[in-house]
A and B are shown apart, each in its own frame.
Chain A
């Protein structure tokens, strides 16, 4: 059985984002990078399945981007993936979801993966398109937004998260691709021995030009902060003074303090 998990490296979302000189994406300087949170759940689920199936199962982790994404791949290897694929692309951030999906599909199409895991979306772009588009490109069965996953003998039983806390139960026959929602599992922290072991695992490097033949279908023309709506008061300063200020406001504007 062959499993693929696709991950993205994104900035820490508590960062301050400022437009890059191009004006269409963020400036990458001074950002701390980490694995996209949704993808941590995808990696964990793939590793759990790898453990369930044991010998004869191979789990590959793939990421697209510049050299820095090697760190995210190493983390996935330390979590339990067997081997890594790094699609080298310094301009990955300028590609649209159609192109990113095309790169993954071009890599995966002759590899015979039974199951592909992705995050439901990335924290920075948030298009929620790439996973489903890969499935369409490959002709795989697909379900999105998983908060439950079980695999038995070629059948995935997935629980999809719907609005209002309802879940939809769906069965998929492999080959299949699933996109993972937050809370699907509890992603593990890599242990020191596993981090050391991961250093010996293979990371294959592939230039993006070998995989990408598609033109973009959409263009980002601007990246900017939201228009300030006004009205809201921002309080800054020393804690004691802030508490007094807030108490004053609550007494004046609400009826809950009396």
Chain B
């Protein structure tokens, strides 16, 4: 069995998360080749075949061209699986490759079971087992679901390039907004989730944070709704935190949120929904209405 892994490179750097592809391939028991649009000045620690395109020439985001590079490598390697990270790069490129090959794509795999792939669904509350019915398949793997694994060695580099017509052009990056709150240093974070109901209720959560000498955090829907500023957002697109105590108030626990806080020392979740996925990472799940429970807790501090 053979897997063609598609690594990631951004703003001139090989992304460490690329090594999770090798962790996945190892569980799959597959031989590996790697494709990377990057630079020969920064080669990954991998002794196998590396299909390397120059990011200066091919662009870091240039999906039509990158698709062609992957298709060319698929023709040479004839892999059973083409594996991407389920990231802003991977979920954008993988379906293009799968469609052109007309093969199954399994999105955001979190595990292997019995010839199939385990994926989350229903906002991560449930699981599906998916089996490709095509000979080849494209797989994207969830960030952090498989351990990073550095195979070691020096790759046998095969330089590749392609040229295609495209109606998509990359203009550049916009940096993340400046953070006026550094949640990464907080010992206690109390986070407001959608379950707080409305903006007017956010002070209830902030009061508990203050009583504990901590900072207010926020989940994505709360920031999108404009209830709390983005600088307080915890998760993949906000800040990744690991305080001594994390209290999630009315946070359902989307994957992107869990990825940003699951390394906290002690996690308390307060949620009306006993099945909310936040319960999977919580040390204590309090099944209660946040607006009743939180003020009562704050009063005891």
Selected A-B contacts with CB under 8 Å, 15 pairs: A98-B105, A125-B121, A126-B107, A129-B95, A132-B92, A132-B99, A162-B10, A164-B176, A167-B173, A171-B171, A219-B133, A220-B128, A225-B275, A256-B187, A257-B301
- Please give, as numbers and ranges, the residues of chain A lying within 8 Å of B175 by CB-CB distance: 166
**Segment touching B, from A9-17, A66-74, A204-212:** A9-17
Q: How near does chain B come to A101, taking the closest CB pair, in angstroms?
A: 8
Interface centre among B130, B166, B175 (most CB of A within 10 A): B130
CA distance A120 to B168 in the complex (A): 18
Q: Is A88 an interface residue (CB 8 A)?
A: no
Q: In this complex, what residue of B is CB-closest to A165?
A: B176
Q: Is A142 an interface residue (CB 8 A)?
A: yes
Q: In this complex, what residue of A is CB-closest to B105?
A: A129
Q: Are A246 and B92 in contact (CB-based, < 8 A)? A: no
Q: Is B284 an interface residue (CB 8 A)?
A: yes
Q: Is B131 an interface residue (CB 8 A)?
A: yes
Q: How near does chain B come to A182, taking the closest CB pair, in angstroms?
A: 5
Q: Are A14 and B273 in contact (CB-based, < 8 A)? A: yes
Q: Is A240 an interface residue (CB 8 A)?
A: yes
- Please give, as numbers and ranges, the residues of chain B lying within 8 Å of A124 by CB-CB distance: 121-123
Q: Are A233 and B284 in contact (CB-based, < 8 A)? A: yes
Query: CB within 8 A of B88: which of A144, A223, A257?
Result: A144
Q: Are A235 and B296 in contact (CB-based, < 8 A)? A: no
Q: Is A231 an interface residue (CB 8 A)?
A: yes
Q: Is A59 an interface residue (CB 8 A)?
A: no
Q: In this complex, what residue of B is CB-closest to A132?
A: B95
- Please give, as numbers and ranges, the residues of chain A lying within 8 Å of B265 by CB-CB distance: 254
Q: Is A218 an interface residue (CB 8 A)?
A: yes
Mark each residue of chain A from 123 to 150: 1 if its CB lies under 8 Å from any CB of chain B, else 0.
1111111001101110001111100000
Mark each residue of chain B from 70 to 109: 1 if its CB lies under 8 Å from any CB of chain A, else 0.
0000000000000000111001101110111011111110
Q: Which A residues have a C-beta under 8 Å from some C-beta of B?
A: 11, 13-14, 16-17, 24, 26, 96-98, 101, 123-129, 132-133, 135-137, 141-145, 157, 159-173, 176, 182-183, 186, 216-226, 229, 231-236, 239-240, 242-244, 246-247, 249-250, 253-257
CA distance A69 to B284 in the complex (A): 38
Q: Are A142 and B63 in contact (CB-based, < 8 A)? A: yes
Q: In this complex, what residue of A is CB-closest to B221?
A: A182
Q: How many residues of B contact A (CB 8 A)?
A: 90
Interface centre among A124, A145, A176, A235 (most CB of B within 10 A): A235
CA distance A145 to B292 in the complex (A): 36
Q: Are A13 and B123 in contact (CB-based, < 8 A)? A: yes
Q: In this complex, what residue of A is CB-closest to B296?
A: A243
Q: Is B39 an interface residue (CB 8 A)?
A: no
Q: Are A231 and B169 in contact (CB-based, < 8 A)? A: no
CA distance A171 to B62 in the complex (A): 11
Q: Are B268 and A17 in contact (CB-based, < 8 A)? A: no
Q: Are A217 and B104 in contact (CB-based, < 8 A)? A: yes
**Segment touching A, from B44-52, B152-160, B197-205, B236-244:** B236-244
Q: In this complex, what residue of A is CB-closest to B116?
A: A221
Given contacts A218-B132, A221-B129, A255-B244, contact A164 B168 (CB under 8 A): no
Minimum-distance CB pairs A-B, first 5: A165-B176, A141-B167, A136-B99, A183-B224, A132-B95
